[in-house]
């Protein structure tokens, strides 16, 4: 039941993340227009979100890929709000506030979908390894462990 709930929860979160990100754009007289396809990390997040709700076969792989895409977009959001003085990259969110706030909301939905997949991967791993008995410890090893403690 928990598996099903997490899978069903991940679908609308991924769709919301994709929708917010793909439709996000803003024009500015000074700097021009910015759209999601201008930033590679956002395109990567949309791709992984789309894959994550189309292919539910490998929870582990999707969870790890989603971690990387959350990291990529988190960096973009951070740079948008804070900039990077060392490489003379100024913050852009004061000029593209609507774009940045929608990008942040898309990141939150993507992170929530990631949480669903991380939970699913833990459940899958538990189920995979729970079919095996724990390794037996010989009496000689137990005796050595007691002496060490």
pLDDT given for residue 139 in this prediction: 64
Name 20's Cβ contacts closer than 8 Å, sequence gap at least 6.
102, 103, 105, 106, 109
Question: What's the total number of domains in the chain?
Answer: 1
Per-residue pLDDT band at 134 (split at 50, 70, 90): low
- The rounded distance, in Å, linking the Cα atoms of 47 and 133 is 39
Provide the domain limits for residue 120: 2-148
What is the average pLDDT value for the chain, to the nearest integer?
81
DSSP-assigned letter for residue 84: B
Kindly report, residue by residue over 45-75, the tens digit of the pLDDT.
888 888 775 655 567 777 788 889 999 989 8
Kindly report whether the global pTM for this prediction surpasses the value 0.85.
Answer: no
Per-residue pLDDT band at 108 (split at 50, 70, 90): very high
Torsion region of 32: left, alpha or beta (phi above 0 gives left; psi -120 to 50 gives alpha): left
Mean pLDDT of 16-41: 87
Among the listed residues 111, 119, 34, 23, the one whose alpha carbon sits nearest the alpha carbon of residue 73: 111
pLDDT given for residue 117 in this prediction: 83
Torsion of CA 130, 5, 12, 117, to 10 degrees: -20
Which one has a higher pLDDT value, 146 or 121? 121
- The rounded distance, in Å, linking the Cα atoms of 95 and 72 is 21
In the chain, pLDDT over 90 holds for what percent of residues? 7
């Amino acid at each position: 039941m928990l598996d099903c709930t997490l899978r069903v929860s991940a679908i609308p979160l991924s769709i919301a993340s994709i929708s917010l990100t793909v439709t996000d754009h803003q024009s500015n007289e000074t700097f021009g227009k910015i759209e999601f396809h201008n930033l590679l990390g956002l395109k990567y997040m949309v791709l992984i979100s789309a894959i994550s709700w189309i292919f539910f076969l490998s929870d582990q792989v999707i969870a790890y890929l989603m971690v990387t895409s959350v990291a990529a977009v988190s960096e973009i959001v951070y740079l948008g709000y804070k900039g990077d003085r060392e490489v003379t990259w100024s913050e852009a969110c004061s000029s593209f506030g609507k774009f940045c706030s929608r990008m942040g909301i898309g990141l939150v939905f993507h992170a929530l979908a990631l949480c669903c997949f991380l939970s699913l991967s833990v459940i899958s791993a538990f189920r995979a390894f729970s079919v095996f008995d724990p390794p037996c410890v010989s009496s000689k090893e137990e005796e050595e462990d007691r002496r060490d403690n």
